[in-house]
Amino acid sequence: MQRILDTVLAQTPTILIVLSILLGTIVIARRLRVVSQAAATRMGFPADIAALAGSVVFVVTLLVGASIAFAQGGWGTIASSVMAGLGLGGVVVALAIQDVAKSYTAGIMLLYYRPYQVGDEVTIAGIRGTVTAMRLHVTVVRNQAGILVHIPSNVINGSAIMNHTRSGLRQQTYALTVPRNSAFEGIIDALPRIVQALPLVAAEPHCTASIADMQGAQVTIHVVAWTAAEHDDDGSCRTAVILAIDAYLGTQASTTRAGSQVSKVD
pLDDT tens, residue by residue, 72-118: 766 655 556 655 555 555 554 454 445 556 666 777 778 777 888 88
CA distance 202 to 39: 42
Examine the domain organization and report whether 173 and 260 are in the same domain.
yes
- Count structural domains, the chain: 3
**Structural domain harbouring 140:** 115-163
CATH number of the CATH domain containing 58: 1.10.287
Examine the domain organization and report whether 174 and 151 are in the same domain.
no
Examine the domain organization and report whether 38 and 73 are in the same domain.
yes
In a domain, 109, yes or no: no
Residue 80 carries which DSSP code? H
Residue of 221, 203, 196 lying closest to 211 (CA atoms)? 221
In a domain, 105, yes or no: no
SS3 129: strand
pLDDT tens, residue by residue, 234-256: 888 889 999 998 888 888 776 66
CA distance 85 to 98: 19
pLDDT of residue 11: 57
Whole-number Cα distances in Å, 136 to 46, 105, 110, 116, 150 = 11, 8, 8, 14, 12
Examine the domain organization and report whether 133 and 205 are in the same domain.
no
CATH number of the CATH domain containing 185: 3.30.70.100
Q: Could you tell me the pTM of the whole model?
A: 0.47
In a domain, 110, yes or no: no
Contacts 24+ apart (CB under 8 A), 251-256: 252/182, 252/183, 252/187, 253/182, 253/183, 255/179, 255/181, 255/182, 256/178, 256/179, 256/182, 256/183, 256/187
Helix and strand totals (H; E) in the chain: 9, 9
